Amino acid sequence: MSKPIYVTEAALPPLEEFIPCLEKIWANKCLTNNGEFHKEFEAKLAEYLGVKYVSLFTNGMIALQVGMQALRITGEVITTPFTFVATTHAIHWNNCTPVFCDIEPETFTMDPTKVESLITPRTTALMPVHVYGNPCRHEELKQIADTYGLKLFYDAAHVFGVRKDGVSVCNWGDLSMLSFHATKVFNTFEGGALVTNDENMKKRVDFLKNFGFANEVTVVAPGSNGKMDEFRSAYGLLQLERVDGEIAKRKKVAERYREALKNVPGIRMLHDLPGIQHNYAYFPVTVDAKEYGMTRDQLYDILKANNIYTRRYFYPLCSDFPTYRGLPSAVPGNLSIATEVARKILCLPMFADLTEEQQNFIIQKTRWNHN
């Protein structure tokens, strides 16, 4: 296939729908600083998610950093090594120490049964990640956090629109961070948000993302600049009207993959969890070299040679990066599941407008001698 097929493709609203928004911005000359589109987007996003408060950010990384400040997290933070490095970097930037916990083989999320052994007198928070849109085992994590007096801050970058028993998982914990990066199910080019049901926390977050200003002349904290502008807020409002349809298309793509690859030796796929309304953000598979007949990296190279650009999310582990591999918790022997999954993981192309022709080509090359 001559046209490259990338691991994802951003969903865009019709350009003609965005132009009137630009004309309105040009007319009122309000570009940022909590303008009308920003206010409307926060309100409608909170309504869609079924939460009380949303604070919009220019990206998810700054939202993570500000969220830690808002929760006054210090010392050690227990997190997963199987995540995008922004999770760990946010901890590092706040002068805290990440403590890596192994993952569950069924969902690739942080294993609650291995958390308590990592808690020390310096531990102040848990930062689990809903990897690939699979919700963490919140009840167990919350019980641990409550028992030890820890903050529970979710990296929810992958779970836009995901619900458990009809309720958004963004309601969980003290805070949840959403990413609206171009690669996500819901995007605003770049962007992010912090979600909370606590009014005082919403106020503190809003102060911190705007240099610490409480009003025109009062600075209450050493804040940052994480504000989302009017352009992306307007774009987000348009995206919000379409996202459920985009997720429905993604579900069909996932179903075709599962049907076509279910009997391929050595290929393991994740499946929908009971009671969970998924968003099909990614389509990860693991490749067992012995059963499949080649390694994950060999399959990656074959697909790339055919203009199919997969990604090895999340390889290497965060605990393997030079900044973190010297930490006591980064020892591979303590992270056996994460280490094995990272060695085998491959994310196949997943996006709403992936055509059946494109997907059949991907499947054909993935099945190779298993047809």
pLDDT digits (tens, 9 = 90+) for 11-48: 999 999 999 999 999 999 999 999 999 999 999 999 99
Give CA 126 to chain center in angstroms.
16
Tokens coding 24? 């309105």
Query: Which of 104, 81, 61 has its CA nearest to residue 315?
Result: 81
CATH of domain 15-101+109-238: 3.40.640.10
pTM here?
0.97
Query: Which of 267, 270, 261, 255 has its CA nearest to residue 109?
Result: 270
Instruction: Judge whether residue 370 has pLDDT over 70.
Output: no
Q: DSSP labels for 312-323?
A: -TT-S-GGGSTT
* 260 burial type by CB count under 10 A (0-12 exposed, 13-18 middle, 19+ buried): middle
Give the CA count within 13 Å in the CB-facing half-sphere of 324: 27
**Whether the domain at 15-101+109-238 and the domain at 243-370 fall into the same CATH topology:** no
Instruction: Judge whether residue 153 has pLDDT over 80.
Output: yes
Domain boundaries, the chain: 15-101+109-238, 243-370
- β-pairing verdict for 76-79 and 151-155: unpaired
Report the chain's mean pLDDT, rounded to a whole number.
Answer: 97
CB 141 within 8 A of CB 152: yes
Report the percentage of the chain scoring pLDDT > 70: 99
Domain 243-370 has CATH 3.90.330.10: no
Give the N- to C-terminal CA distance of the chain in Å, as an integer. 19
Query: Which of 344, 364, 41 has its CA nearest to residue 188?
Result: 41
Tokens coding 181? 């990066």
DSSP one-letter code for 72: T
